[in-house]
Structure formats: structure tokens, C-alpha cells
Amino acid sequence: MRVEARGLTFEVRTGGPEGGDPVLLLHGFPQHGGEWDEVVPALHAAGLRTYALDQRGYSPGARPAAVEDYRMAECVADAVAVLDALGVDAAHVVGHDWGSLVAWHLAARHRERVRTLTAVSVPHPGAMAHALSTDPQQKARSSYILLFRKPGKAEKVLLALNAAALRRMLGGVGDAERVARYAEPMREPGALTAALNWYRAMSRTDLAATGPVDVPTTYVWSDKDVAIGRTAAEACAAQVTGDYRFVELSGVTHWIPDEAPAPLAEAILDRVRGLA
């Protein structure tokens, strides 16, 4: 379905029983709401209603041109506005990668809109800041961001030779067909630039502004994630004042929703049920 919010048009994949408790699903780079397709059947079977949002820059009708239009405050405001448009007062929020960062900010700044939080792969910004300042390995893991922040060059590198570098990066999601499912939309004019603008708009001020989270929270991390190391993952607990659970998946890469949908769905359902 399409949702009009803040003068933009967002694509939203919906499913599950009408009237079920709402779950807002936020994807990461360079994917889209389809990354939750293997996760949602278990949520629907449990009676939950899911809304998988194609976020700013990924929905063709929500693709502003300016870098500053992709600052975190704008992305969080989108999530709030989409919930408003859907008539949802508060939702269980699940985010992966950049979607996880939006979810953390949403829980910290709009606590009344978040019933529970399940953050996947990317920990609280405060945990990332701690790891970047204390762990040289985390600095190395995050060095790819320097390329992504370079306009033009990043697009050229990632899209060269039939998007070979982008496809390699997505290798953990599964077979060639699944890789193409995410890579091909990024080859549309302006799509990759819009997705990369999330990195280019990122600022230390935005990250530092994220306060502690007091909603019931689960953080899901995988030990083969090349982008997020154990220091950042284990530092996440200090940023949550509410009920907190840390779920570690062994032998799984960064692409948890695609690679390990069953244990992720279990973690989400455990968190949602824990509220009752």
C-alpha cells in the first residue's frame, strides 16, 4: 500500500490479521521492506499486524534531493508520520541496520509511540560511540563509511561492472536471486545516491543526541557481522534503562533478517510477549 505523509509517498508492505497488535518494521541499507518477508509469517501467525516501510530515499515517492533531507530527525519524523497516517498510536518497533538507528531514536524521542523495541545488528548510538572511541577494531570495521560519504565516488565504485561491489557486499543475504532483489532497485536513477545520503547526512551531533531508552528492548547481534564488533554489541546494555535482553546469533552475518529469519522472529515474539 502507499501512505501519504509529510508531503511524501511511502511504500508500505502490510500483512497479518486486521486488528492485530501493530508492528512497524524498518529496513536498512541497501535493502527495502522486503527484507522482512521471511520474518513476518511467524509474526502473522502470532496475531500481529505488520507494516514494513520503505523508508525515505527507498520509496520512489519519498526521495528528496538534498543531503540534509536525510538527517536522522527527518527519518524519525517519517516513522511518526506514517504511524499517524496508519492510525497507529503505538507500535512494536523492529529495525535492522539504519532502520535500527531510526528505531533507537524513535524510542528515545517518542517513547509514547513505541510499545517495545527490537533492534537488529546496529546497537544504540551511545554504544557505537563508546566502541569507536575505545576499540581500534571497531574503527576499522566502520572505515567503509568514509567511502560511502563521498558523493559520486561511492556510486561509481558500487555500481561499476553491473554493480559487482554492491552485489558482493550483499552476498550474505543468500543466492544470486535474493542479491538481485536488493541490488537492482539501487541501479535505478537516483536510488543509490538517496540511500547513501543517509551516511552523508550523518553527524556526531545527531548520534550524541540519542538519550537512554526505557522501553522494553531486545538487541539482536550476530557474531559474524563485519560491521559491528562485540565491544559495541556488549556496550548496548548500558544505554537501556528498561527491561533489556541481548540475543547473540552464532555463525550469522550482518544480514540477519535474510539469513536467520526464524530465530529473529522468535526474538521479536519473545519481546512482544514479554510485555503482556
- Scored b (16 or more CB within 10 A) or e, 35-71 reads bbebbbebbeebebbbbbbbbbbbbeebbeeebebbb
pLDDT (0 to 100) of residue 274: 87
What is the mean pLDDT for each group of 10 consecutive residues in the chain (276 residues)?
Answer: 97 97 98 98 98 98 97 97 98 98 97 98 95 95 96 98 97 95 97 98 81 96 98 97 97 98 98 81
Could you give the number of structural domains in the chain? 1
Reported for 177-181, long-range contacts at CB under 8 A and 24+ positions apart, including other chains, are 178/258, 181/34
Query: Is beta strand 114-120 parallel, antiparallel or unpaired with respect to 8-15?
Result: unpaired
Task: Give 38-41 contacts, CB < 8 A, sequence gap 24+.
Answer: 38/257, 38/258, 38/261, 39/257, 39/261, 39/264, 39/265, 39/268, 40/15, 40/16, 40/265, 41/265
- Residue identified by cell 550474505 is 172
pTM: 0.97
Q: What is the pLDDT of residue 276?
A: 46
CATH number at residue 209: 3.40.50.1820
Write down the pLDDT at residue 275. 65
Residue range(s) defining the domain that contains residue 133: 2-275
